Amino acid sequence: MSVHSFQVNVSHGEEVGLDTFKGKVMLIVNTASKCGLTPQYEGLEKLYETYKEKGFTVLGFPCNQFGGQEPGTDEEISYFCSLNYDVKFPIFQKIEVNGENAHPLYQYLREQAPEEEKLDENGTLYKHLRANAPKLLEGSTIKWNFTKFLIDQDGNVVKRFSPTTTPEEIEGDIEKILAK
């Protein structure tokens, strides 16, 4: 099994098999439009534009499970991404990434890469989670918006990055996989 085994819905509703991305390096990200980390869309789009001709793509999966920071409809989310960040990488329908209603893709991603880089214990996000949602700091749960999974050309999960890891910090990892 690999990431290529899953079906997802693009923001306008069409079902797409992730096998359409076979041979490409992917960065799968749960996103939100009203989060302090939302400006990461700019860096994600820059990565996409820089490496798309070399076989790379970003896949954005909006999620409203973290502080209600993605309240819009799929259409509103797509419009926001296009208008504010000129996003051209695929944005999918809003999904859940944790809990019993988590999308099967995210269940698989969490199983394949249960650990992410540790959050900075002095950082704002860690302090917020510790005070308000300590269960999110446990186990393989997605900790917050903009958790990132790097996937190789064969659909294997290579690495999981914390929400506070910027797209720019991932660029070297992307280049290594593209060079294989």
Sorted by where each starts, the structural domains of the chain and their CATH numbers stand as 3-178 (3.40.30.10)
What are the E-state strand segments in the chain? 7-9, 15-17, 25-31, 56-62, 148-151, 157-161
Does the structure show a pLDDT above 90 at 114?
A: no
Q: Which residues contact 54 (CB under 8 A, 6 or more apart)?
A: 178
> What integer pLDDT is reported at residue 122 of this predicted model?
82
Does the structure show a pLDDT above 90 at 75?
A: yes
DSSP 8-state symbol, 136: G
Alpha helices in 52-166 (DSSP H): 74-85, 104-112, 124-132
Can you state the angle between helices 74-85 and 40-51, rounded to 10 degrees?
Answer: 80
Name the phi and psi angles at 25, rounded to 5: -85, 135
Average pLDDT, the chain: 93
Q: Give the HSE-up count for residue 136: Cα atoms under 13 Å, Cβ half-sphere.
A: 22
State what percent of residues in the chain have pLDDT above 90. Answer: 80
Section 109-114 average pLDDT: 91
Does the structure show a pLDDT above 80 at 15?
A: yes
User: What is the token pair recorded at 153?
Assistant: 């050309």
State what percent of residues in the chain have pLDDT above 70. Answer: 99
Does the structure show a pLDDT above 80 at 164?
A: yes
Greater pLDDT, 117 or 11: 11
Find residue 30's DSSP bridge partners.
61
3-state secondary structure at position 115 = coil
DSSP 40-68: HHHHHHHHHHHHGGGTEEEEEEE--TTTT
Section 159-164 average pLDDT: 94
pLDDT tens, residue by residue, 16-70? 999 999 999 999 999 999 999 999 999 999 999 999 999 999 999 999 999 999 9
> Can you tell me which residue has the tokens 């997605």?
142
Closest to 10 measured CA to CA, from 106, 107, 108, 91: 91
Cα 73 to Cα 36: distance, rounded to the nearest angstrom: 20
Greater pLDDT, 168 or 123: 168
Section 161-166 average pLDDT: 94
User: What is the token pair recorded at 2?
Assistant: 């690999």
- In this prediction the pTM is 0.94
Cα 67 to Cα 17: distance, rounded to the nearest angstrom: 30
Told to judge if 63 belongs to the known catalytic residues of this protein, a careful annotator would answer no
Does the structure show a pLDDT above 90 at 109?
A: yes
Q: Say which of 10, 16, 34, 35 is annotated catalytic.
A: 35
Does the structure show a pLDDT above 90 at 12?
A: no
> What integer pLDDT is reported at residue 126 of this predicted model?
80
